A and B are shown apart, each in its own frame.
Chain A
């Protein structure tokens, strides 16, 4: 288009007006598009969250019902709609492991290792990893993972959970015949754990298994204190104490008899020597 010098300002004003109207039109378009997208997205997100919850619940139920294959499918779907949900990830690892098929067990291990790489300080991942390493007969790795679980992070503080992991570790150490280490873990667990009847009884029982009768009796007595109002619990604690006392008495008698027999043997030997 040919514009003369006189027409220039007029054309310029016309263009400015046209551009301004176009910009306004664009702003309105963006506003309308944004509003539509916003409401659609809100509905979309809510729908996905709902799907994630439903599939997660289905997965948990399947796992509780001992149907790991169904649980795997459900939990994988839940993770599609809510990626990175830690609880579902751990449940999935558990479900994979529960299939008792070597491929899935391997997959479970790899999956857990992957989760651990992403968050090595998270207690529940380390606990699951420890359990899997126990199954895979990797005792040192399992013990390391248990310890990492104890010192790892837990939702809501994790006092209870840490104590429970320590007890599980102690059980494993007893099974591994490392009684000294188990004894130590149980004493720490006893110090850390809240004093409840069940916990004290459990620690006492494990200490008994770790051949630490004296400490076991202490915990049974604590359990007796904690179970003042419950007759059954009191009886159980008393029985345990009585059992330990009986064992201790028997041990004392045995020791005394051994001492006596040793003392009897010594003069006889001296006499024999004199002859």
Chain B
């Protein structure tokens, strides 16, 4: 069988499938909605500490602080990180409580490319708060995972 131009054209959608699926802003919005139970998080209370310019996307230090007294009546019950353009919109979900004493979590995450990140905090009164940051990534994580 000779390969015609028509065959090549039909192969292009297949090549696109080889590339790992990337999360989209819509996928991030859906993941956030499932975390908050369709409540729209308010902006504030949360401090998302991350470098604006990231050299190495394989291990990006992040710190999330929430302004909360952390008492039995008023505390943070959860903190979650979401991203826009990694293969999956979820990064991590932390469960806290009044025993935590301080609503602050640090970790290291992977970033596939320059994108928007959201940190969402759930408070004991049922409200959700967020902060969104834009970051630039020069060396992407999982670059060897990219087909083409």
Decide whether A and B assemble into one complex.
no
